[in-house]
Amino acid sequence: MAVELIITSVRKGLDGGSGYQPVLRTKDLKPPVAERLQLRSGYSHPFPHGDRRNPVVHVHRIERVAGETLHVIARLCDAGSDHTGRSNFLAHFVAMDEAEARRKPAGPAEVMRRMAFKTSWDEPAREAAPPTVVGGDRQPGPCRAWKDAGLDPGIAGDLAEAAMSGREVTLVSRDSDDSDTVLSLFADALALVAPAKRWQVTFNTCRIEPFDGTWQAIRHDLPQAGGLRSGPGVIDLTINPRGGNGPYAAYARGDATSLPWQQSA
């Protein structure tokens, strides 16, 4: 089963108050789940609200709430000014239990690419039926999104190899790498990960809030990038790096016909 919650600043939200409130909520959403999602809705504007340089953020988290494991996918963005003239953001969450996630073997990045996330809110607050979550399987293949972005597809292989071995990776992204682009790069890399492990890969396409996950990206011009660029597991896309020479990188470039986990299956 999937549930949904949207948070933004309005005159009157679902709970009757003003300010940052739920404006769309799946009917019968469990209060502990709603509280956890609302806790994750922070958005620190790197630039003045309404500035187009403020990034969109796509996130996949694994949350343990009230004894249940949930896979949470979300899109967070600057929403200009609220009704008081102060800064606003919009956070759109979809949470799935493990059974629902298993029915989407393509993994979280591909599901998010197909999700109709809200980018603004100008409707009355309301409760809704459970959302429709689209996303079937995705077969591994050469990583064309990386090549189309002018990057070495071998880096996608390095991300996949890191995910398979439990290592974390940080990408320093370029000006041209908006959240949709980074999400496509992650979807390419995630297709190289064994299907049983894809939903264990957590990620953030532009880290502006604290985040611990398998993959995270940070745009090079954001203040938050300063402390991340010199850490372990960092790949700086601004210098047009080349990926490694391992089997995952070779497959991502189209120089191999199978992945290590396929050979051992």
pLDDT of 210 reads 87
Which of these, 55, 89, 78, lies nearest to 179 by C-alpha position? 55
CB atoms within 10 A of CB 240: 10
Q: Confirm if 100 and 199 have CB atoms less than 8 A apart.
A: no
pLDDT of 253 reads 98
CB atoms within 10 A of CB 45: 16
Which of these, 127, 131, 159, lies nearest to 143 by C-alpha position? 159
**Backbone dihedral angles phi then psi of residue 3, each to the nearest 5 degrees:** -130, 165
Q: Confirm if 9 and 21 have CB atoms less than 8 A apart.
A: yes
Asked if the model's pLDDT at residue 265 lies above 70, the reply is no
Tens digits of per-residue pLDDT, 179-224?
Answer: 999 999 999 999 999 999 999 999 999 999 888 899 999 999 998 8
| Residue type at 164 in one-letter notation | M
pTM of the model: 0.95
